[in-house]
Structure 1
Amino acid sequence: MLNIDNLSCGYGSAVVLHGLNLQVNASEVVALIGPNGAGKTSTLQCIAGHVRAQSGTVRFNGKDLAPLPPQKRVLEGIALSPEGRKLFGDMTVRENLVVGGYSRPREATARNIERVLDLFPRLGERFDSLGRTLSGGEQQMVAIGRALMAEPKLLLIDELSLGLMPKNVDICYQALQKLRGEGIAVLLVEQNLSKALAFSDRAYVLDSGRLVWSGTSEAARARRDLVESILGHAASADPAPASHEELTS
């Protein structure tokens, strides 16, 4: 579905991502992990069209995305839930969701809102609340829901669990499990390594803008030296990864 070949990107003359090769298949969840400043967010922003590719190619379902601005990439089936959620604080939950569906026919709005509320029932209780009054967990639910309003084939999620209570992290992962079952592919940037590696099929590790390791998430979980040396997480401090069944219970 998504094929990235030798991609470099950055801001102005500064290159922050160097020669990345990455692939996401249909219905697959891929984790993109690494320390702060590794180039993870820049990768998602480049796929979404908000950061310019300086070299290499990004293809989605065989189409070169280089000529397409962000709004056209949404029409192709790519949606981004950004780091920090970035909701419209003076708009209600409903209004934030409606904004996310701007690329779809108006008659699809009610259907897609119903789908989001089915994934995140809590949002039905806060439907008319302003974005700035929501908790961090509720804001993340809205951010993911807003992206889903575009009916994506590929969902990009940047820092899903950042600043969230464990209960809300679990709610978000339960929603992603349902989306996986619907055939939606996910490229996930995540600081919670146990959750990311338990939930994903494969993982890519970035450090200082370069790919340093890739493989199955199962293999990544077994590489405690990788976790310690690249990500700075001591193996003794890492809880045992949750299983798929635990994530959906």
Structure 2
Amino acid sequence: MLEIERLSCGYGAAVVVHELSMNVNPGEVVALIGPNGAGKTSTLQCIAGHVKSKGGRIRFNGKDITTLAPQSRVRDGIALSPEGRKLFGDMTVRENLIVGGFSRPHDATPRNLRRVLDLFPRLEERFGSLGRTLSGGEQQMVAIGRALMAEPQLLIIDELSLGLMPKNVNICYAALRRLKQDGMAVLLVEQNLSKVLESSDRVYALDSGSLAWSGTSEEVRQKPGLVAAILGHAPAESTREESTV
């Protein structure tokens, strides 16, 4: 579904990702891991169209999208749940979700809202609450739900569990497994290695903007020290929840 060939990207004159090649297949969960500053977020932002490529190609369902605007990529079936959630604090949960469906027909909104609320029942209880009053876990549910409102074929999630209590991490990963069962492809950046290995099919490890290793999640599970040896340390698990934006 997603094919990245020798992709380089960065900011201004700085190149932070160097000739990265990777792919995501339909119905597959792929994790992108690595230390801070490795280029993980830049890679996701480049796939979504918010960071310009400096070389290489991005193809989605066989179509070259390397130079497409972000909104065109959303219409083609790519949606991003960004690091830090980035909700509209003075808008309600309902309004934040509806914003995510701008590229779809208006009559699809009720159906997509129902899908999100079925995944995250807590949001139905908080439907009329302002974004800035939500807990960190609730914010993450809204951010993922907002991306799902675009009816993506590929859902990209940056830092799924960062700052969340274990209970809310489990809720988000349970939703992820349901989406996978429904055939959705997911690409995520994650620091919680133990959780991501439970749910992902394959792993790409970045270090200093370059691909350090790639393989199946099963390989990593069978060799617990593998990623630590490649990256110099094991990604930390998150245990603290942010209360508000």
TMscore range, shorter length: over 0.9
Residues 123 and 142 in structure 1, CA contact (< 8 A), matched pair in contact too: yes
Cα distance, 1:212 vs. partner? 0.6
CA RMSD of aligned residues (A): 1.3
Structure 1 gap ranges (5+) = 239-249
- Matched AA of 2:233: G
Determine the C-alpha separation between the residues in 2 that align with 1:221 and 1:13. Answer: 39
Distance in 1 of aligned mates of 2:12 and 2:225: 35
* 1:241 corresponding residue in structure 2: none
CA contact (8 A) 1:34 1:231 kept: no
Aligned to 1:69: 69
Quick check: 63-72 or 46-55, which moved more?
63-72
Q: Which residue of 2 aligns with 1:118?
A: 118
**Deviations 1:83-125, CA, capped at 9 Å, x for gaps:** 0000000000000000000000000001100100000000000
SS of aligned partner of 2:176: helix
CA apart distance, 1:220:
1.8
Q: Partner letter of residue 117 of structure 1?
A: L
Q: Which letter does structure 1 place at the counterpart of 2:152?
A: P
Over the matched positions of the two proteins, sequence identity in percent amounts to: 73
Q: List structure 1 runs of 4+ shifted beyond 2 angstroms.
A: 221-229
- Assess, with a 3 A threshold, how the Cα gap between structure 1 residues 54 and 231 changes in structure 2: closer, same or farther: same
Gaps of 5+ in 2: 238-245
- 2:234 alignment partner AA: H
Normalised TM-score (structure 2): 0.94
- In structure 2, the residue corresponding to 1:152 is in which secondary structure? coil
* Residue 218 of structure 1: aligned partner: 218
SS at match of 2:225: helix
Map 1:1-249; keep pairs closer than 5 Å: 1-229=1-229, 230=231, 232-233=233-234
Secondary structure, aligned partner of 2:113: helix
The aligned length equals 236
Task: Report deviation, 1:231.
Answer: 5.1
For 1:3 and 1:181, the matched residues in 2 are separated by 22
Distance, in Å, in 1 between the alignment partners of 2:152 and 2:58 is 17
The letter for the 2-side match of 1:215 is G
TM-score by length of 1: 0.92
